[in-house]
Every structure is written in C-alpha cells, then in structure tokens.
Amino acid sequence: MTETKQITLHRPDDWHVHLRDGQMMQAVLPFTAKQFGRAIVMPNLADPVATSQQAVAYRERIYATLPEGVKFEPLMTAYLTDNTDAKDLAAGFKHGVFCAAKLYPAGATTNSASGVTDIEKLSAVLECMEDIGMPLLVHGEVTDPDIDLFDREHVFIDRVMKPTLNRHQGLKVVFEHITTSAAVDFVRSQGPRIGATITAHHLMINRTDIFKGGIRPHLYCLPVAKREQHRLALREAATSGESQFFLGTDTAPHAISAKEAACGCAGIFTAPAAVELYAQVFDEEHALDKFEAFASLNGPKFYGLAPNAETITLIREAWVVPDSVAVGDGTLVLPFKAGETLNWRLSD
C-alpha cells in the first residue's frame, strides 16, 4: 500500500476551546484561528460569561484580538448557574449570540465555583432549551468528594446524565471531552440527539503517562486521563466515522507557573498543534479516510450548520512543536508535546 502523503479536507471546527481573555487570549487565539473555521468558546472566564450581554462583549473582545485577515467565527456559550434566566438564554439563542449553554457542576473544574449545585435547579431552564432546540454542553463529572477521581465520569452517567435525558426527551446534549469506554457506550446507546467531543490528548495519553518517571503536571487535566483500555475505546470511537463523535480539543492554557505548582491547575494546551495531533492519531489507526468526518463534518451536522466551505491541507512532514508560547505579561505556556516531533503539518 502506498503511503498517503497529504490530505485535503473541509476546514475543521473546534467544538470545545478555552480562549481565555486579555493577554492570554492574545497569545493563544492565533493558533486556534489559524486551523479552525469556528470554535465553541467555553464561558469559564474568571468572571463567567453567564448573560447574553456578557457574551456579546466577550465575542467583541475575541474579534478585536483576531490577527489581521484571519477568518474565524467564535460560537459563544452561556455559563449555567443556579440563577440562570431562561428568558435571557432564549433571547440570546434566538438572536445568534449563544450557540449552546454549558453545564459545569459547581466545583468540578477551573472557574466552576458559580456552576450548578444541583441539576434539579435547572429544570425550567432545560425545558426551555429543549423547546427552542438549544444544545446543552456537559462537563460530565460528579463532584462528590467520596467518589474516586477516576470514577467521576462513569458515576455521572448514572447519577446525572441518564435522569436528565429521561426527563428531557427532546434535549440535545453534548457529552464533552469523554474519557471512558462507559461514556462511548452510553453515547452510542442514546442515538443522534447526543454527541460527544473527544480531545487529542485523551486519544494520546493514559493515566500512567501522567506519572512517567515523575509527576507530569502538564498532562493533568479534567476529566483526568484514564486507563489504557479507555484510551483505546476513545480511539475506536473517534476513528469510527460515526456522526455522534466529533473534534473538541479542550485546549486549556495555563501559565507554566500555575501548572508547576504544589497545587497545579488542570488543563492541557493543545492549540499549537491541534489538527496535526489528531491527524497523527488517525494515521496511526489507519483511519485517515475517517478524519474529515470527525474533524469537519460531524460537529456541524450535530449543531445544524453547514461544513466550512474552505479546505485545509495536511502534509506528511516532520516538524517540532514549539518549546513554549510567550504571553505578553512575561509568562509562558507549555504546549502539549512541546519540543517533540510530529509527522503531519498543516500547509500554509
């Protein structure tokens, strides 16, 4: 069999990204905007994006930060709280401000303190979202301190996801950054009203990698990577071509000083090589023919959007991921696979 030397596909979208704000956004946004046509922008800023007014202002800051001549569309999300105003949410959705709403169980992850304390409190909001066809994006981990960290996604399926889907039979849901074979099986069992994003890092590392030769803070994220059998299940799902699974990097930059600390932040910064990392996985799985579905077609289909009209080309060519990315305030961010060689490169 001859080796594929290059592939051309509809420009992909990133269905889960943390663009942050201010100087951090200035440093990281160009990487996402260079590769992706659109991105679902997470609302977990230090001051969460909870209202349509806040989303409009944040979207303006994103557009103002985009490098000259770069075409990129941020798709905004609402940060759900115990006090979310369903009317504001619905108006934001109707007027194209919000594309979806994000459920962070309170305390589950970075900047989730104002998240939802009990999903029951969201009943009216979810009913409204169901009525208007607004997707719910879910950080699927329980926050119960008695549940082992590595079991929190699996337990969430039974305790929260199933009852919520049962109660809201028409609600569209994205199970974000899935990390377990249980989540893969569950998503498949539910049919097309539920989708799932899969990150590049969860396709590449397992929980043992986080402790290889010592503790590796830059491989710590939430949900945390699981056992090898789960990584393999994610690879199988992503490369299956099935329309429920699509690309969402969950690129989550933190200053090196915040990662390499006694209590380091969760988040892996994959944006500098996102498309290339995924391409490598699909190549390793002999599934490059399924890459376009995962990266460029399944996501838009779920969200009821057309695929991007433009294309990108990836070339089989070695390049080295940058050692670090500088933020204007003098801090540095470390990319996933920093200093390592990848064998697919995005053509300019």
Give the interface with ligand DOR as residue ranges (CB under 6 A): 18, 44, 109-110, 139, 221-222, 252, 266-267
Annotation says 148 is catalytic: no
| Binding piece for Zn ion, criterion CB under 5 A, among 146-154, 249-257, 272-280, 338-346 | 249-257
Please name the residues in contact with 139: beta carbons below 8 A apart, sequence gap of 6 or more.
Answer: 102, 103, 104, 105, 108, 109, 112, 176, 177, 222
Alpha-helix residue ranges (DSSP H) falling in 162-270: 162-167, 181-190, 200-204, 228-238, 256-259
Beta bridge partners of 65: none
Q: Which of 85, 131, 144, 250 is catalytic?
A: 250
Torsion of CA 50, 52, 54, 59, to 10 degrees: 120
Tell the smallest beta-carbon distance from residue 336 to ligand DOR (Å): 12
Nearer to ligand DOR, 177 or 235 (CB): 177
Nearer to ligand DOR, 89 or 225 (CB): 225
Nearer to Zn ion, 13 or 250 (CB): 250
The 200-239 site mask, x for binding Zn ion (CB under 5 A), equals: ----------------------------------------
Torsion of CA 151, 205, 12, 132, to 10 degrees: 0
141 binding Zn ion? (CB under 5 A) = no
Question: What is the CB neighbour count within 10 angstroms for residue 202?
Answer: 25
Helix (H) or strand (E) holding 342: strand 341-346
Among 141, 250, 276, 283, binds Zn ion (CB under 5 A): 250
Tell the smallest beta-carbon distance from residue 234 to Zn ion (Å): 16
> How far, in Å, CA of 335 to CA of 16, rounded?
17
Nearer to ligand DOR, 187 or 221 (CB): 221
- The option from Zn ion, ligand DOR, none interacting with 239 (CB < 5 to 8 A, set by class) reads none
Cis peptide preceding 12, ω within 30 of 0: no
Residues marked active site are found at 250
